[in-house]
Amino acid sequence: MTMPQIVTLTLNPAVDKISSVPQVVAERKLRCTTPRYDPGGGGLNVARAIQTLGGQATAYWTCGGPMGRLLAERLDADGVPHRPIPIEAMTRENLIVLEESTGRQYRFGMPGAMLTPDEVETCLRMLGELDPPPDFLVLSGRLPPGVPDDFYARAARQSPAHCRVILDTSGPPLREGIDGGVYLIKPNVHELSELAGSEILEDAEIRDLSRSLIARGNVQVVVTSLGSAGVVVVTEQHFENIRAPTVKVRSKVGAGDSSVAGIVLGLAQGTDILDAVRLGVAAGSAAVMTEGTELCRRNDAWRLYEVMRHRTEREP
């Protein structure tokens, strides 16, 4: 049996440069440890986490300059199947510094590489020419400068009828992306409140807004993240609060992308939507157990998933 094809797209990738210092002090020269360079960016992280969980996804991403070449080298070293899309501007580099004395993490995100109109069209054309066409298309992350807010909507509209589009972004790209017709969105409460135009405080409000989005016919599943409390899953037939397991939090970096990876992998393996989301919550919880920018670990994710499944079976 052929495994469904999973493709992720990252228009705003990054090289995450990670180091540490004993203490962050203003106006003083700080002696950092030898830096580590990790791939970063929504779709790249999703593809990496899917691989960690035992699946496979092909990551398409915009690649420019020396940082783009370094990012390609890091993906190759990790064995992640990927296809760089050449651009003129240089791929961005982010800086992440751990303050050893407090355990606090300082994250400095740089602006993304500016894409030209021709490069934007090249990305869309590339998606339309994928052979074989994907069964799952993950559109994840913020859009970089030069990319219009309706990019994700255009990408979703041109995807094949059988392809399930997963959209994980925020702001206008999320609002406009839904109009393109997607299978699943994964906002947090703040992002869902922005869609509603008012603050959402209760599960019932999440349910009602999600159902209203679904009723318009452009999205089938809304998975709203509640942070450490888990998620609320809403479909036309389902409304369920899936609680996250209690774990020791070391870093929240990559938790959302790991969660998306678990959901997509679960769906690709043929599980129902609620079980797929349980795997996503387990992968997200496993990610916060790791330090720095490390994503979920396979053993942690699958162990937590089994704990959640058994807990569900015991509940009336």
Catalytic residue numbers read: 257
CA distance linking residue 81 with residue 275, whole number of Å: 26
Q: Which residue has the tokens 């490069």?
A: 119
**Dihedral sign computed on CA atoms, order 136, 142, 145, 149:** positive
Sheet holding 231-234, edge to edge: 82-86, 58-63, 6-10, 136-140, 164-168, 184-185, 221-225, 231-234, 239-242
Q: Over the range 18-52, which residues count as b (16 or more CB within 10 Å of their CB) and which as e?
A: bbbbeeeeeeeeeeeeeeeebbbbbbbbbbbbbbb
CA distance linking residue 155 with residue 152, whole number of Å: 5
228-232 LR contacts (CB < 8 Å, sep 24+): 230/281, 231/259, 231/277, 231/280, 231/281, 232/203, 232/206, 232/207
Q: Which residues contact 42 (CB under 8 A, 6 or more apart)?
A: 8, 10, 12, 140, 141, 142, 168, 169, 257
Q: Is 117 exposed, middle or buried (0-12, 13-18, 19+ CB in 10 A)?
A: exposed
Which residue type is seen at 250? R
